[in-house]
Structures are given as C-alpha cells and as structure tokens.
Amino acid sequence: MTTVKENTFLYGWEHPDKMREYRKNNKSMAKKDKRTTLKEAVARGVKEGDYIVFGGMGSVRNPIAAVHEIIRQGIGNLTIGTKGSQHDWQLLAAAGNVTNAEVSYGFADEVRGLSLPARRAVESGRLKVLSETTNAAFQWRFTAAAKGLPFYPTRSSLGTDTLTYSGSKTIIDPFTKEPIELLPACYPDVAIIHVHRADKYGNCQIDGNIAEDIEIAHAAKFVIITAEQIVPDEVIESDPAQTKIPYFTVDAVVEVPYGSHPNQVPRLYSFDEDHWQEWLDASITEETTEEYLDKYIYSSNDFYDYLEKIGGVRVLRQLENIEKKLAPYPTVARRRG
C-alpha cells in the first residue's frame, strides 16, 4: 500500500497485541473494593513521564483535586493529551510537571481568554507541543484503542497543518483509491475522570455530557476515578442504564467532594468566579503564579485543606445554590492586564 505521508509525531501508540499482553498481566478485572486515598491512587497510577488524559469537557467536571495531588507529589516530565481540557492541565503546566502536550484545545479558558502559564511554558521552550490534533481525532484515537485497533481511518483533516503536525499517516484507500488519513490509536498511560457518583468497585454514573470519558476509560492503561460521592451498591443497581463506566475498567476509586473546584459539576455546583479571578490575576506573572501554587497546593495537606482555604462550606454551599439557580450568577472572572 502506498504511504503518502509518513510521520515523526507518534505518541501514545502501542501495538494492539502488546496492549492485550499488558492487560493480561497488569489489569485486574476483579470486582473488589477499590476505594483508596487520592495520595495513594496518584502515587500508584501516575509515573514520571506518563501520558495522561483527563475526563470532562472544557471547564466542566475536570479532576482538579487529582491534578493538585500530582503537583504535590512532584511527578514530572508528563505528556498531556489536551483533548479539550483546560484548567486541569494548565495548572500542571504552570507548576512545571508537564513537558509535552498533544494539543487539540488547550491554551485558552474559553471566554475568559488565553491561559498565560501554559503559553509562557511553550513560548519559553519549557513545554513542547508534540503535535496538533482535533477533538475528533482524539475521540477516534481513543475509539481505536478501545476497539483494540492500530488506527482509525478518517477523511477529515487532509490539506491542513493539523495533519502535518499530527501522528497520522496518509495512504491511498484501497476502496475509493483516494487519500485517507489514518489516525494512530492512543493508549494513555493514565486516565483520570471525575464523576458524579461511583460505587466502591468503580461503577461510575455521570449526569449530563459524558464527552469522551467512556472511550478514555477503555483505552487507558490505568484508570483513576474521583467521585463526588461513593454510593451504596443499590444506587447503581437501581439505575444501571445511568452507569457509563463499568467497574472492570477502573483501577482506583476515590471520594472527592467538590473535586472539580473552581470548575463546574453540572447539577451539583457552579464555577467559583471569585477563585477564578484570583487565579487569572495570579497567573499574569511567574512570581504570583508560584505564590498561588504555594498557597493553595504545595502548602495544602490535601484537597479538603484547599477547600477550607477557598472559603469552606460557606463558599461551597453558595456554589451549589448558584448551580440550582437559588442564587444569582456572580460577575464572570476575566483576564485583567
């Protein structure tokens, strides 16, 4: 078969048979109590140099608590697949834990503006953008991995630099006799997904947009679930259709209430605009970014400690009320200066 475009940007790819072997040797599918602490889950699952993807969509349902823990443990040289994630990986970039990224959407906070720490990291050379890809490509790369395939074919990105700077190869499709892009499967080392509720085995229920969370749970080598709530088995059994991720894909389950703060978990709590403003202001210079990380992450024992620092129950209840529309939405935080 003719290969039209070769590539030098291949990351996250594995031979499907190697992954079958890996799962056989390393992935327990047993139904057992997987509850643990965030500290232990991160220490066990996240290694220096790993390729990580985060669940959620945009600024919604991001595993911020797990990100704090990675920063606190100083696990470095990470590669992040920024399939649409923002504040999660940007905190890691600000703290210097990330040295590489495959980017679909990653350097902005939607309407709040461009993310300065992640940009500074790239523009100064501390962080390398390995390749550019699309949300669709990430979706399909995880889909290929979930299906045990080496690649996923698509006709979409031909004629762009997104294709040039991606891990894709272009061949002549033997059916149409036309060029077709082959997206390499992506098997992340770790997927970290924040969900509304899970049982102790790791059966996960997500309300609202599930994004690519199902695919990354099936594609990743190690899956950490942080849940707003660990629920009794009956809650899951009474509504199995709502269970999006089954227990046998999951390696660790941690209960982390408000684990997405300062971002939103639909139906539970809203964005913390005051804290967002503090972060946006702090992230303008290297010094103030460092002060923010010191104050809220390095000097916190755990995420509960952080939640006290951002205002504790008083603030968190207010964010719940805003989400339920029992309180007005506050002024939206914006990049200043």
Partner 1 sequence: MSSIITLEPADYMTVAMARLIQDGERIFHGVASPMPAVAIQLAKKHHAKKAVYLSIAGTADAVPTEFSRHTTAGANLREGAVSEFLLSDIFDLSARGGLDVAFLSGAQIDEYGRLNLSAIGSFQQPKVRLPGGAGSAALLPTVKRAILWKTTHDTRSLVEKLDVITAAGNTEYVITPLAIFKRGKQGKLQLYSIFPESSFDEIVEKTGFKVEKHPQYHVFEPITEREWELLLEIDKNGSRFSEFR
DSSP state for residue 98 in the 8-state scheme: E
Residue in 36, 79, 82, 97 binding partner 1, rule: CB under 8 A:
82
The residue range among 16-24, 26-34, 227-235, 262-270 that interacts with partner 1, by the rule CB under 8 A, is: 262-270
How far apart CA 109 and CA 82 sit, in angstroms, is 13
How far apart CA 144 and CA 12 sit, in angstroms, is 12
The residue range among 30-38, 225-233, 313-321, 329-337 that interacts with partner 1, by the rule CB under 8 A, is: 329-337
Kindly state the number of chain residues that form the binding site for partner 1, as judged by CB under 8 A: 56
Positions of E strands within the chain = 3-5, 51-54, 78-82, 98-103, 128-132, 151-154, 169-172, 179-184, 190-198, 204-205, 222-230, 243-245, 252-255
Q: Which 3 state secondary structure label does DSSP give 132?
A: strand
CA distances from residue 36 to 45, 132, 239 in whole angstroms, order as listed: 12, 35, 25
The residue range among 52-60, 68-76, 195-203, 253-261 that interacts with partner 1, by the rule CB under 8 A, is: 52-60
Among positions 89-108, residues that touch partner 1 (CB under 8 A) are 103-108
Q: In the complex with partner 1, which residue's Cβ is closer, 138 or 247? A: 138
Does residue 283 belong to the site contacting partner 1 (CB under 8 A)? no
Residue in 49, 74, 208, 232 binding partner 1, rule: CB under 8 A:
208
Residue in 38, 42, 57, 219 binding partner 1, rule: CB under 8 A:
57
Amino acid at 86: Q
- Residues 6+ positions from 305 with CB-CB distance below 8 Å: none
- Contacts to partner 1 by CB under 8 A: 57-60, 82, 84, 103-108, 110-112, 114, 118-119, 122-123, 125, 129, 132, 134-137, 139-140, 143, 154-163, 165, 208-212, 215, 264, 266-267, 271, 273, 329, 332-334
